[in-house]
Amino acid sequence: MNDLVERYVQEVGRNLAKPDRADIEAEIRSMIYDRLEDRYGGAETETDITAVLKELGDPRRLSASYLPVRYLVGPEAFPYMLTALRYVWVTIPTIFIFLHIFGALTAAQPAPLATLLFEMLATAGYATFICTSLVIIAFAVIERIIMAFTIKDMAFDPSALPPVNDPRSVDRFEATFGIVMGIIVGLMFLYFLYTGGLTLRFGISNPDDLIRVPREWLAAFIVAVAAMAAVHARVLRTNQWTTTLWLTETILELFGVICLYFVIYEPVAQRLAESTTANSSLLESIPEILVVINAVLTAAGRSGRLLRLWKYRDPSIPPVILSAAS
């Protein structure tokens, strides 16, 4: 198979939802080779292949043609929004249910089971609704601002497509999801900064219901989250990862792990130690263990691509720079 064709098909598939991706990629690949066979009888040159790919146009526009028409969020962003919502619908209720159970176990006076269940489900549902609304709004903004920057058909050059498995290539869902989660997490921790601690009660006025945490570390974590969202926005804009951007995000993630130690791990462990008869020395060591494990996993998970980006050298393939659509 021709490498240029595979690079084109890969770029089309990058913008499709996973359930349909393989079938559509196979259809496009077959269509390209059928055209080449009809025109050149299997004796096509690189120039011939480039001409056929130029006829098909920008791969992201081609992938958009396979998606149904949407209203609030357009076809380029909708698959990523739907995937982000699936994460929200799983993670947000789980987090709030866990925190409610933790709050019940550490409360001075246990609440009736029916009351606990009602508050737990109501809070989880409310938080999920708020986060769902934020995701939809964020993707609507992304659709109209970030996704508005696209490659003009006239400027499309198949030879500029990134190679298969190019470490610079961008997973547009990953970058978009990073922006959305940055918005959600940033707003949540801004609320914690306003109240002065961790809480499940929105509009809370009683400081006794808070788990007090250092405000400076809360502010530092919010800055780190905002900076990571900015990195993802930059990646979407330039359509490529660079060593500098990847290293910057890695440093921000590691710094975020340190912030989490001071704003979540340690305060929660202290509250648990104060409200239980369990071994306090064991509870006090849990935050350190968690932050070390988290940091090691983060560094290990990101080091492979960082090394590939550092070693990557191919000046003949320029990055794909997005320009504002007319």
pLDDT the model gives residue 59:
84
Separation of alpha carbons 99 and 119, rounded Å: 12
Per DSSP, the three-state class of 148 is coil
pLDDT the model gives residue 217:
92
User: Radius of gyration of the chain from Cα atoms?
Assistant: 24
Separation of alpha carbons 179 and 136, rounded Å: 12
* 258-273 per-residue burial string, b: 16 or more CB within 10 A, e: under 16: bbbbbbbbbbbbbbbb
Q: Is the pLDDT of residue 224 over 80?
A: yes
**Residue 51 carries which side chain, given as an amino acid letter?**
A
Q: Which residues touch 6 (CB under 8 Å, ≥6 apart)?
A: 29, 164
Question: Mean pLDDT across the stretch 171-178?
Answer: 74
pLDDT the model gives residue 154:
44
Separation of alpha carbons 268 and 262, rounded Å: 10
Q: Is the pLDDT of residue 121 over 50?
A: yes
- Chain centroid to Cα 136, Å, comes to 14
Counting residues of the chain whose pLDDT is more than 90, the rounded percentage is 9
Q: Is the pLDDT of residue 127 over 90?
A: no
pLDDT the model gives residue 252:
94
CB-based contact 257:291 (threshold 8 Å): yes
Tokens of 132: 């769902």
Question: Cα separations (Å) of 291 from 77, 249, 266, 274, 298?
Answer: 34, 18, 10, 21, 10
pLDDT the model gives residue 254:
93
Average predicted confidence (pLDDT) for the chain: 77
CB-based contact 26:75 (threshold 8 Å): no
Question: Cα separations (Å) of 29 from 1, 3, 26, 144, 272?
Answer: 10, 12, 5, 31, 58
CB-based contact 54:30 (threshold 8 Å): no
> Is the pLDDT higher at 27 or at 97?
27
List, for residues 22-55, the tens digit of each pLDDT value.
888 899 989 988 888 888 887 888 888 888 888 8
Model pTM score = 0.58
Q: Is the pLDDT of residue 318 over 70?
A: no
Counting residues of the chain whose pLDDT is more than 70, the rounded percentage is 78
Q: Residue 207: pLDDT band by 50, 70, 90 thresholds? A: very low
Q: What's the burial of 146, exposed, middle or buried (CB within 10 Å: 0-12/13-18/19+)?
A: buried
- CB half-sphere exposure, 85, CA atoms < 13 A: 16
Q: Is the pLDDT of residue 98 over 50?
A: yes
323-324/149-150 β-pairing: antiparallel
DSSP string, 270-325: HHHHHT--S-HHHHHHHHHHHHHHHHHHHHHHHHHHHHHHHH---TTS-----EE-
Dmax over CA atoms of the chain, in Å, equals: 81
Q: Is the pLDDT of residue 239 over 60?
A: yes
pLDDT the model gives residue 317:
46
The most confident of the ranges 12-16, 134-138, 253-257 is 253-257
DSSP string, 27-87: HHHHHHHHHHHHHHTT---HHHHHHHHHHH--HHHHHHTTSPP-SSS-TTTHHHHHHHHHH
Per DSSP, the three-state class of 197 is strand
Q: Is the pLDDT of residue 14 over 50?
A: yes
> Is the pLDDT higher at 207 or at 130?
130
pLDDT the model gives residue 256:
92
Separation of alpha carbons 266 and 96, rounded Å: 19
Tokens of 182: 């940055």
List, for residues 59-92, the tens digit of each pLDDT value.
877 887 777 655 577 666 677 777 778 878 887 7
